[in-house]
Amino acid sequence: MAPVKVFGSAAFTNVARVLVCLEEVGAEYEIVDIDFHIKEHKGSEHLARNPFGQVPAFQDGDLILFQSRAISRYVLRKYKTAGEVNLLREGNPGESALVDVWLDVEALQYDPIMNLVFVQHRVVPALGGTPDESVISESVEKLRKVLDVYEAQLTKHRYLAGDFVSLVDLSHFPETHYFMGMPYAAVLDSYPRVRAWLEDLFSRPAVKKVVSLMAKDFN
Amino acid sequence: MAPVKVFGSAAFTNVARVLVCLEEVGAEYEIVDIDFHIKEHKGSEHLARNPFGQVPAFQDGDLILFQSRAISRYVLRKYKTAGEVNLLREGNPGESALVDVWLDVEALQYDPIMNLVFVQHRVVPALGGTPDESVISESVEKLRKVLDVYEAQLTKHRYLAGDFVSLVDLSHFPETHYFMGMPYAAVLDSYPRVRAWLEDLFSRPAVKKVVSLMAKDFN
């Protein structure tokens, strides 16, 4: 089987999300860097893969995909038969529905907040600007509301979708990894169950591997 | 089989998304209104269904779900065996992956823009405020970029995920229905394929039915 291809550097959180799934299932894959400095992401070759000119894109033979969570679902389905990994729970209608629920929470509630903080703290200064502290503090307040819900859920269950690890948990790691290196990460100290869940998550070999790839690429 | 329950009024686009799926598969369902005026959405009973205090929530026996797209997936899987309807394409790995891709596009790129416009045009004046026209015009500019991609996709395929109608197309209708009643809807005139796709979508009996429920509830 020819290795699947992931277009985009591991330093992008949306790329890292796909990579951790590939690592979890032990798939053979190739990372193809897209050079943003020469606007390769807006070139016709990349736009044919991802019409929004974003990363990641993904190729498996003739099939081209984009959107990190959709690619992650595809990867976890494709390689499911290869091992014990069952990160979508698709055999069980209730459990797979709860994976869908909490993956939408991550995508629509958690990730946008994390992304706003990341842009202000890392991207704005890198472009010579000054972070808007009010955007950061409003975002941290919104984050608290989400973490209140997570803490309650993780008091009832070991993982977000239930007592099983799933794509939901993995999907949180890339943005959270960057956030944990920022001064605002102290907010997590008020949430012991969330802290324990993150420690568990970051101890997974697949997550450790992708964290090392992110560090190498981030500059 | 006891009817499933949907909590929240059809006037909410996220509720309408679930209802159209139930209509498409011919499921028996009951709508349970949540009274926002008396803050029922923040009461303990509703928070047990949806910890973020939002609508919709959904109940099928002991299973409680929230997040409209996750509920929609569950509904389309549950009733799939009942008829010819195949709006997730789960039997086909490539097609179902493309449904996931374009559903994420709807959720993460299209819907947030539509939502910003709706809030400024309908919610802000209803609360006695003045719409921020710059937010609206920036949103319409962003919408054009998304519609450029849609027009190209709908030139290649009859529907967004391919040559088959899917949850992706249905999922666009609630926000688009409100948008089409606003002066900014003229932007759609530059996109003939998008226009034809929407006409096709709004001619579906399930969509017509839910549009009538939305009108009844919107006040």
- Read off the pLDDT of residues A178-218 as tens digits, 9 standing for 90 and up: 999 999 999 999 999 999 999 999 999 999 999 999 987 66
Residue A2 has pLDDT above 90, yes or no: no
Residue B85 near residue B79 (C-beta atoms within 8 A): yes
B4-7 and B29-32 beta bridge pairing: parallel
A65 touches chain B (CB under 8 A): yes
The predicted pLDDT at position B85 comes to 75
Mean pLDDT on A1-13: 93
Domain span(s) for CATH 3.40.30.10 in chain B: 4-82
- Read off the pLDDT of residues A115-174 as tens digits, 9 standing for 90 and up: 999 999 999 999 999 999 999 999 999 999 999 999 999 999 999 999 999 999 999 999
ipTM attached to this prediction: 0.95
Name residues whose C-beta falls within 8 Å of residue B121's C-beta, 6 or more positions apart in sequence: B131, B136, B182, B184
The predicted pLDDT at position A84 comes to 66
Number of H helices, E strands in chain A: 10, 4
Domain span(s) for CATH 1.20.1050.10 in chain B: 93-210
* Contact at CB, A100 and B66, closer than 8 angstroms: no
Q: A103: which 2 tokens?
A: 């993956």
Mean pLDDT on B1-7: 90
- Read off the pLDDT of residues A63-99 as tens digits, 9 standing for 90 and up: 999 999 999 999 999 987 655 678 999 989 999 999 9
With CA atoms as reference, report the closest residue to B168 among B108, B106, B112, B97.
Answer: B106
With CA atoms as reference, report the closest residue to A23 among A103, A70, A83.
Answer: A83
User: Out of 3.10.20.30, 3.40.640.10, 1.20.1050.10, 1.10.760.10, which CATH number does the structure's domain A93-211 have?
Assistant: 1.20.1050.10
With CA atoms as reference, report the closest residue to B18 among B170, B169, B166.
Answer: B170
Backbone angles phi, psi at A112, to 5 degrees: -60, -35
A52 touches chain B (CB under 8 A): yes
- Read off the pLDDT of residues B55-113 as tens digits, 9 standing for 90 and up: 999 999 999 999 999 999 999 999 876 556 789 999 899 999 999 999 999 999 999 99
Residue B16 near residue B173 (C-beta atoms within 8 A): yes
The predicted pLDDT at position B82 comes to 55
User: Out of 1.20.1050.10, 3.40.50.1820, 3.40.640.10, 2.60.40.1120, which CATH number does the structure's domain B93-210 have?
Assistant: 1.20.1050.10
With CA atoms as reference, report the closest residue to B103 among A129, A201, A108, A44.
Answer: A108
* Contact at CB, A65 and B103, closer than 8 angstroms: no
Residue type at B175 in one-letter notation: E
With CA atoms as reference, report the closest residue to A85 among A129, A24, A33.
Answer: A24
Q: What is the CATH number of domain B4-82?
A: 3.40.30.10
Residue of A51, A70, A98 lying closest to B100 (CB–CB): A70
The predicted pLDDT at position A153 comes to 98
Q: Burial-class residue B50 by CB neighbours within 10 Å (0-12, 13-18, 19+).
A: buried
The predicted pLDDT at position B210 comes to 98
A153 touches chain B (CB under 8 A): yes
Residue B162 near residue B102 (C-beta atoms within 8 A): no
CB pairs under 8 A between A and B: 73
Mean pLDDT on A45-69: 97
The predicted pLDDT at position B116 comes to 96
Helix axes A205-217, A167-179, angle to 10 degrees: 40
- Rounded to the nearest angstrom, the gap between the alpha carbon of residue A123 and the centroid of all alpha carbons in its chain is 18
Question: Nearest residue on chain B to A142, judged by CA atoms?
Answer: B52
SS3 B109: helix
Residue type at B152 in one-letter notation: A
Backbone angles phi, psi at B5, to 5 degrees: -115, 140
d(CA B78, CA A133): 47
**Mean pLDDT value across chain B:** 95
Mean pLDDT on B141-159: 98
Residue B133 has pLDDT above 80, yes or no: yes
